[in-house]
Amino acid sequence: MDMIIVKGGQPLHGEVAASGAKNAALPILASALLADGTHTFRNVPDLADVATMLEVLRTMGCEAARLTGRKKDVCEVALSGPITPEAPYELVKTMRASVLVLGPLVARFGRARVSMPGGCAIGARPIDQHLKGLKALGAEIHLTEGYVEARAKQLRGGTVNFDVITVTGTENVMMAAALAKGHTVMENCAREPEVEELARVLNKMGARIEGAGTSVITIEGVDSLKPVDHAILPDRIEAGTLLVAAAISGGNVLVKHAQVEHLEAVVDKLREAGCTITVEAGGLRCKAPRTPTAVNITTTEHPGFPTDMQAQLMALMSVSNGTSVISENIFENRFMHVPELHRLGADITIQGHTAVVKGVKGLSGAQVMATDLRASASLILAGLRAEGPTEVSRVYHLDRGYERLERKLRSLGADIRRVKARG
Ligand code: EPU
């Protein structure tokens, strides 16, 4: 099993590019189920989660593959033969986002059998809202043997008012409604840029969706959709993580493809922390002071501060000048990085869903363990600042959502390498 060793101390300098967005690529790959023919998706990040989604699609009978050589950012998904509309436990348990095939399958093939994703490291993460939405479109839902079985000869438009704002729930129901008969109104929708991006792709396929990116989405169902060629938008969370890498190292880095309109809450907090953030040709530059100022953070749905950046900002706050209060409001257990940051010398106290971070003068390298995707990023970021080597194990979590992060950081001057773990 790989581990990453980072020796802190060097301010990062230079330019680095954000890859395509994981959380847009996953629903977009699933949306290929909605139309026959060959779809071409570009700027698809080379990540373990993307590989899992391609595997899910292949298991059902699609041809789904990443091209090689100079086209390795391109994935093609083709539907021609018969489909087995089922996502098995073995795949769903490795990636919850596999549940994104549920909506397209029932809309297109009239039935779906998808393993229920269990809880995960960051929270219970139920899918009741996905099911509520599909029921509102006329699907019959049964839960048997750990699987969700959904059936509908023809979905019909309906009104869905989500009780909880959910990103993949909004995406699943939006994909289903694209092929439902009649008019659908979805209320209290997630407004994330990835939801908007999925709607853009569906509309290119011939869907009639309006309002994505706002809390009310309306959809006029169509009879059929056609395949598309689409380049996926840049990953705002990866871009944000790279900006924090510049910030925590006291460096000066241009993150190419970072889009300020998708990162406003993060940029605001970095500015409050004393960084100079400028919009430059095709990206965002972060020029950081040696010691950041403490800022308070409250995670909320987009356009609020993203939960997917909470762990990274906490790493930054651990070396700030002052005390920072960080509240996590999306997931109930997303502070698993805290005990690991303690091992590096951070002073953090958890009270319920709030962490009080007292900035310390310096961190010192140690062996730490990644517990989930964003937690692994935060440990690497902390390692960039720590004195001495930090060894981060279980980096398979990192590889689910960051494309060669260590190479990107090394290109900015970080002393970081990946090694095979001992034993
Ligand atoms: N929730 C429910 N019922 C549902 C769905 C969600 O109660 O039916 C709750 C969840 O338990 C959670 C909250 O609603 O407390 C928000 O969850 P949401 O459904 O929005 O999360 P998700 O769609 O499963 C996506 C991202 C996550 C990101 C969250 C929040 C993808 C593939 N995943 O998950 O990304 O943290 O939205 O923004 O889009 C990551 O990339 O590291 C990651 C975890």
State the catalytic residue, choosing from 75, 120, 189, 275.
120
189 part of the active site: no
CA 123 to ligand 1 center in whole angstroms? 9
CA 416 to ligand 1 center in whole angstroms? 31
Beta-carbon contacts of 353 under 8 Å, excluding residues fewer than 6 positions away, are 327, 328, 329, 332
Strand-strand pairing, 2-7 and 415-420: antiparallel
- Identify the segments of the chain with pLDDT beneath 70: 118-119, 421-423
pLDDT at position 151, please? 97
pLDDT at position 178, please? 98
3-class DSSP assignment, residue 278: strand
pLDDT at position 215, please? 98
pLDDT at position 121, please? 77
**Residue 4: HSE in the Cβ half-sphere, 13 Å Cα cutoff:** 29
pLDDT at position 405, please? 97
Atom 2 (ligand 1) nearest CA: 126
Atom 44 (ligand 1) nearest CA: 308
Distance between CA 141 and CA 103 in Å, rounded?
12
Q: What is the pTM of this model?
A: 0.97
Q: Could you tell me which of 176, 196, 232 has the C-alpha nearest to residue 39?
A: 232
Give the C-alpha distances (Å, rounded to integers) separating 14 from 160, 405, 411. 47, 15, 8
Backbone angles phi, psi at 154, to 5 degrees: -150, 115
pLDDT at position 89, please? 94
193-204 in b/e form (b: 16+ CB < 10 A) is: bbbbbbbbbbbe
pLDDT at position 421, please? 63
